[in-house]
Chain A
Amino acid sequence: MNTFDSIIIGAGPAGLKAADTLANFNRKVLLIDTDAKIGGKLNLWDRLFPDFSSSQELLNQLSKNINNENVTLKLNTNIISIKNNDNHWMATDSNGNTFYATTMIIATGFDVFDAHRKEEYGYGIYKNVITSVDLEKILSGEVSIETPSKVAFIQCVGSRDEKVGNNFCSKNCCICAVKQTIELKEKFPLTDIYCFYMDLRMFGQSYEELYRRSQQDYGVNFVRGRVSEISPTMDNKVVLKAEDTLLSRPLKLTADLVVLMVGMEASKGTKILGNQLNINNTDGFVKSTDRYLSDSETTLKGLFVTGTSKRQMSIPETMNDAVNAAVIVNNFLNTL
């Protein structure tokens, strides 16, 4: 029988950091991910807000930290069920393999909102409508495009929207947009950039300063109004319709490129496991026992949760949360 102190499901920033921390406590950890490589959604981003540090460097560091005999890494493994049996946790994958541990940590994270669902924005239909994730490939140089003369960023795509069933704010897309506008401006200094927002949520340290720089040093234009629809033009551009709510005036903007700032939904894995164990909120994220006092615990003994499988978090928040979860798990193991 494969027995571990803890099984961590999900090898994104949360899972990696939790594994690293538990390993430092000399706990035996099994770290599982359905992907072929570690890093989860960190792989989607090139540089990180607000300091433009490299995601790959961070990932390399995280990877180094788990490279020790206490951590067993299992990739390409899709956990489809979790059960508790006599104070032991079992995780079964789609091939029928079962893994056993004293504790289990859900770190299954988030999925990027599928922009196709917002039909009126024409993602997947008009080739110049892309998502913030697609843009990262352009910014990293992996995909090259001709210099666009006008680019529009659209905030809150798939967030704060009853129509797609997501009432929440995804928290990170505002600052991510600011980061991306600056990077795009650095790449294409002559490009005009318009950012359509409803509220700019600059909640983190130095975010507001970055927003100011994007305006002051890079001339990014911020328009307060949510985009209603995007349609094609004769010359292969797209036109956006919004209201400039500060002027009370409908406006149309023709752009060569539109970037949809897609939000963060509970990932498919988070939803499946949360549902199975009956520990999820209505929005699909996993519910901790108490947001203030026991934010890593779930209602099930020995089952813990960390990172964006709980709610939207930035990367530093996620990793801090993972350290916290690991400490709590270690304490729990000490009591047995």
Chain B
Amino acid sequence: MDKKNLILKKLDEDVRFHEALSACMNCGICTAICPAAEFYKYDPRAICNIVQMGNVDEIEDLLKSDTIWYCGQCMSCKTRCPRGNTPGMLITVLRKVSQELGYFTESEKGRQQFAIEQIVGKNIVNFGYCVHPDIVEPFMHPEQGPVWKWFRKNIESVAPRFGAVYHQEKAGALRKVDDNSIDEIRRIFEVSGGNELFDTIEKFSEQKASEYHQNADHDYLMKVYTDNSGEHSK
């Protein structure tokens, strides 16, 4: 199948695609309250319009651009659209296709998927958490402030004060997720395409990293995690 048909087919195949966009009348109600449009050079209405016009070259450009990575997935657009569209969900589908075709590494914001996969993705399959105090490193999160530093330093003896069972294998906050549950999560990732997506992100990131004469390792991760051309915001 040629590339153009492949893009359209991939969009069409996703159940969320048709739910997200039926017919947009370019009213701008979504853009009006979009936090991403407020901050970035981003316009969800325009994205709906490009997709609905169906020009594959333009859609391909979109999939390779920073644009689709700006959305914050707040779904404020869904509440208001007078045509029942959900631009935020359209974005989800565009991002999915961009990753599957390896287009995401063409943009600075897209390349960040590698960092998210390495940090959040690996945390899920290794520890059963998206977020856990152990991965909120104060040095990577200066905005967390001195209180967070204090908590992290004293977590073992302070967390129980809040009723947490940090790293213990029993019911409660911050418990260690038991090995059997972790095994089951991993098998779920195996059979449901979760691992495949991780592999895809890693494979294309590896290719991109080699263009920078790097491996997709810690250095590349830090690069995509911090790179900011300064060209994105309004």
Direct contact of A and B (CB under 8 A): yes
Could you list which residues of chain A lie within 8 angstroms of chain B, going by C-beta atoms? 120, 156, 160-163, 198, 224-229, 241-245, 248-251
Q: Is B26 an interface residue (CB 8 A)?
A: yes
Q: Which residues on the B side are within 8 Å of A250 (C-beta)?
A: 31-34, 37-38
Tell yes or no: B45 within 8 A of A by CB. Answer: yes
Cβ of B218 within 8 Å of any chain A Cβ, yes or no, is no
A sample of 7 inter-chain contacts (CB < 8 A) reads A225-B27, A226-B32, A228-B29, A228-B32, A242-B29, A245-B45, A248-B46
- State the CA gap A161–B29 with chains docked (Å): 11
Q: How far is the CA of A198 from the CA of B29 in the complex (A)?
A: 10
> How many angstroms between the C-alpha atoms of A124 and B100 in the bound complex?
50
| B80 interfacial contact with A, CB 8 Å | yes
Known: A120-B80, A243-B37, A243-B45. A198 touches B25 (CB 8 A): yes
Chain B residues with Cβ below 8 Å from A225 are: 27-28, 32
Point out the residue from B26, B80, B81, B83 that lies within 8 Å of A229, measured CB to CB: B80
Contact B38 A226 (CB under 8 A): no
A249 to B38, CA, bound (A): 9
Contact A243 B31, beta carbon cutoff 8 Å: yes
Taking a contact as CB atoms under 8 Å apart, the answer to whether B83 and A245 are in contact is: no
Q: What separation, in Å, do the CA atoms of A229 and B26 have in the docked complex?
A: 17
How many residues of chain B have a CB within 8 Å of chain A?
Answer: 20
Contacts of B46 on A, CB cut-off 8 Å?
Answer: 248
Residues of A within 8 A of B108 (CB): none
Interface pairs A-B: 7 shortest CB-CB: A243-B28, A228-B32, A243-B31, A226-B27, A225-B28, A161-B82, A245-B28
Q: Is the CB of A243 within 8 A of B80?
A: no
B43 at the interface (CB under 8 A from A): yes
Q: Which residues of A contact B138 (CB under 8 A)?
A: none
Contact of A242 among B28, B43, B82 (CB under 8 A): B28
Q: Which residues of A contact B121 (CB under 8 A)?
A: none
Contact A241 B25, beta carbon cutoff 8 Å: no
Q: Given the complex of chains A and B, what is the CA–CA distance between A71 and B38 in angstroms?
A: 62
Report Cα–Cα, A243/B87, bound state, in Å.
Answer: 15
B29 close to A226 (CB less than 8 A): yes
Which B residues, 1 to 59, have Cβ-Cβ distances below 8 Å to chain A?
Answer: 25-34, 37-38, 43, 45-46
A245 engages B26 (CB within 8 Å): yes
- In the assembled complex, the Cα of A224 lies from the Cα of B25 at a distance in Å of 12
Residues in B with CB closer than 8 Å to A244 are: 28
Q: From residue B75, how far is it (CB to closest CB) to chain A in Å?
A: 14
List, in ascending order, chain A residues with CB within 8 A of B82's CB. 156, 160-163, 226
4 more contacts with CB within 8 A, not counting A229-B33, A248-B46, are: A160-B25, A162-B82, A226-B29, A241-B32
Complex CA–CA separation, A243 to B38 (angstroms): 10
Identity of the chain B residue whose Cβ is nearest the Cβ of A120 in the assembled complex: B80
Once A163-B82, A226-B82, A250-B37 are accepted as A-B contacts, the answer to whether A243 and B25 lie under 8 Å apart by CB is no
Determine the residue in chain A with the shortest Cβ distance to B37: A250
Give the chain A neighbours of B38 by CB distance below 8 A: 250
Point out the residue from B28, B34, B37, B83 that lies within 8 Å of A162, measured CB to CB. B83
Q: Provide the bound-state CA to CA distance between A243 and B82, in Å.
A: 14
Q: Tell me which of B27, B33, B80, B81 contacts A245 (CB under 8 A).
A: B27
Q: Which residues of B contact A245 (CB under 8 A)?
A: 26-28, 31, 45
Question: In the complex, A163→B29 CA distance in Å?
Answer: 12
> Knowing A226-B29, A227-B32, A250-B31 touch, does A243 contact B84 (C-beta < 8 A)?
no
Which residues of chain B come closer than 8 Å to A226, judged between CB atoms? 27-29, 32, 82
Does A228 contact B43, Cβ atoms closer than 8 Å?
A: no
Q: Which residues of B contact A242 (CB under 8 A)?
A: 28-29, 32
Q: List the B side residues contacting A229 at CB < 8 Å.
A: 32-33, 80
Q: How far is the CB of A168 from chain B (nearest CB, A)?
A: 12
A54 smallest CB distance to B (angstroms): 35
CB distance from B42 to the nearest CB of A (A): 9
CB neighbours (8 Å) of B25 from chain A are: 160, 198
A309 to B: closest C-beta gap in Å? 25
Most buried by A among B26, B30, B34, B84: B26
With A and B bound together, what is the CA distance between A229 and B28 in angstroms? Answer: 12
Closest to A244 in B: B28
Q: In the complex, what residues of B have CB within 8 A of residue A156's CB? A: 82
Known contacts A250-B37, A250-B38; A243/B83 CB under 8 A: no
Interchain CB contact under 8 A, B27 and A198: yes
Contacts of B28 in A (CB 8 A): 224-226, 228, 242-245
Give CA–CA (A249, B46) in the complex, Å.
Answer: 10
Q: How far is the CB of B19 from chain A (nearest CB, A)?
A: 14
In the bound complex, CA of A334 to CA of B185 (Å):
81
**Chain B, 87-130, CB within 8 A of any chain A CB:** none
Closest to A250 in B: B37
Give A43 to B206 CA distance when docked, in angstroms.
73
Query: Smallest CB–CB gap between A251 and chain B, Å?
Result: 8
- How far in angstroms is the closest Cβ of chain B from A114? 17
In the bound complex, what is the Cα–Cα distance between A246 and B217 (angstroms)?
A: 44
> Bound complex: CA of A198 vs CA of B80, how far in Å?
15
CA distance A228 to B76 in the complex (A): 10
Which residue in chain B gives the minimum CB-CB distance to A251? B32
Task: For B33, give the chain A residue with the smallest CB separation.
Answer: A228
- Nearest-CB distance from B9 to chain A (Å)? 28
